[in-house]
Amino acid sequence: MSQNPYLLAADNPQALVTLLQENPSLASGQDEHGYSLVHAATSYSHLDLIRSLVRDFNVPVDLRDEDGETALFVAESVDAARILVEELGLNAGLKNDEGVTAREKIEAEGEWPELAQYLSGVGAESAKPNGSTNGDSSSGMELPPAPDGLKITVGTMNEAETGEQQPDPEFRRRIEELAARTDLETPEGQADLRRLVEDAITREGLSEERSVRTRQE
C-alpha cells in the first residue's frame, strides 16, 4: 500500500522525508483543494519539515491552495510563521482570493492571539513596496514620522560622527544596545525601536527650543 504523504506530514515527518527522497516529485504536489505538504507541515508546526520541503526539495514557499492562501494562513504557532517569513522569505502581506492577509484572517478567527501579534509586526512591512517603513496604522507598529531635518540611524556611535551635539550616556547606550540586537523584526523589537524614535524626536524638539532661546537672548 502506498503511503499518503499528507498523513505523513501530519504524523511522521521523518517518514515523509524518506518517501520524498525516493520520490522527489511528490514534494510540490497538491491535493484537489490545492493543499500542499508545506501547508500540512506548517499547520502541524513541524519546523524541520518546513525547512526541508523548501530548501531540500525546492517547494515554492508561496504555494497557494484553491482559496489563494499560502501556508502562513494555516499556521498555528509563531515558530512556524517565523520560519516561513524570516528564514524562507515568504511575504506575510500576501492576500488570499478574498483580499485578506494571513494576519487579518487569524485575527478574525481569534484562536492564535500570539501568532496574530507576531504577524502584526511583519505583515504590513512585507506588503509595502520598495521596503518603505511607513505602513498603514492597522498593523499597530507604524513608526512616527520624523520632523524635517531629523535623521535617525540605528547603528553604533562614535564621537567623530556625532560632532558637537553629544547624546547623553544613557541615550547613547540605548542606541548601541538596539543596534546590537537581532530581534528587531519581532513585535518586542519594533516596540523598542518605536520608543527610541519617539524619544529622539522629543530630544530634537527640546534641542531646537534651547537653540532658539539662545539666539533670542
* Residue 200: per-residue pLDDT: 72
Of 12-16, 55-59, 141-145, 166-170, the poorest mean pLDDT is in: 141-145
* DSSP conformation letters of 36-73: BHHHHHHHTT-HHHHHHHHHTS---TT---TTS--GGG
Task: Give me the residue label for grid cell 525601536.
Answer: 193
pLDDT for 154 equals: 47
Above 70 in pLDDT, residue 10? yes
Q: What residue spans define the domains of the chain?
A: 5-139, 159-216
- The residue ranking higher by pLDDT, 29 or 173, is 29
pLDDT tens-digit series, residues 122-154: 854 444 443 333 334 333 334 444 444 444 444
pLDDT at res. 206: 53
Is 95 in a helix, a strand, or coil? strand
Binned at pLDDT 50, 70 and 90, residue 168 comes out as low
Q: Which CATH architecture has domain 5-139?
A: Alpha Horseshoe (1.25)
CA distance linking residue 65 with residue 105, whole number of Å: 15
Across residues 8-17, what is the average pLDDT?
A: 94
Is 192's pLDDT higher than 60? yes
* Mean pLDDT for the chain overall: 77
Q: According to the model, what pLDDT value does residue 69 have?
A: 97
Scored b (16 or more CB within 10 A) or e, 61-82 reads bbbbbeeebbbbbbbebbebbb
Asked if residue 121 has pLDDT above 60, the reply is yes
